[in-house]
Amino acid sequence: MHFITEQELQLKYRQGKLKTITLTDEERLTPGAKQFLNDHQVPLVSSDTLSLSAEATNDTSAEMTLANRRETFFLLLEVELWEAAVKAHDVHSASCERIACLAQSIRVIMTEDFPELVFPEVEDCEETVLDEITKAEVFCPGGKVILKLRRAIIQATVLQTCVTSEQKLALEQLIDLVKTEICLLGKL
């Protein structure tokens, strides 16, 4: 056990090294040292407080990292859909318009402004299995668009792991519409 005296604190104070004092479990203050800290308004911080503060800082940092990751994935998904719309412009104008509408919906999902969320009307297409990319799919007239849309599905799926339940549902709807668009493009 180490007792910190008033004289030790006075020396640190004169050297300008005493802004706060942290005590370990093995340290104690003498009564004179306590009075010195009170007189000079030097805060006393326990090691328990520091560990709690570090945990809180780590939690806040993790939340900020998650928020940044979420925003980045939303923006990447939006860009991917816009690129698909640009490529679809040369292939099929109706497809271009539907994909552009999907791209615009990303901001609405990101800001959780769900009353404003409107998805485009799409004709029914049989269930599309997107397990493998086929040569026929890639080399059809809308092949480049299909690849962009597949990438958008992957990004939306990853994004679903770090969003609210409402955003997750909206992203699921978006994924279904993108799959339908892939099906329609494959028929061109």
Q: How is the chain split into domains, by residue range?
A: 2-42, 68-186
Give me the count of residues in the chain: 188
The pLDDT value given to residue 76: 92
3-state SS, residue 28: strand
CB 178 within 8 A of CB 130: no
pLDDT by residue (tens digit) across 4-45? Answer: 888 888 888 888 777 788 888 788 889 898 888 888 888 877
pLDDT by residue (tens digit) across 137-184? Answer: 777 788 889 999 999 999 999 999 889 999 999 999 999 999 988 888
Q: Is residue 131 over pLDDT 90?
A: no
The pLDDT value given to residue 37: 84
Residues 6+ apart with CB under 8 A from 118: 101, 105
Residues 6+ apart with CB under 8 A from 33: 4, 5, 6, 8, 9
Alpha-carbon distance of 14 to 26, in angstroms, equals 25
The pLDDT value given to residue 23: 81
Mean pLDDT of 119-137: 68
Task: Please state the three-class secondary structure of 83-97 as a single string.
Answer: HHHHHHHCCCHHHHH
Q: Is residue 87 over pLDDT 90?
A: yes
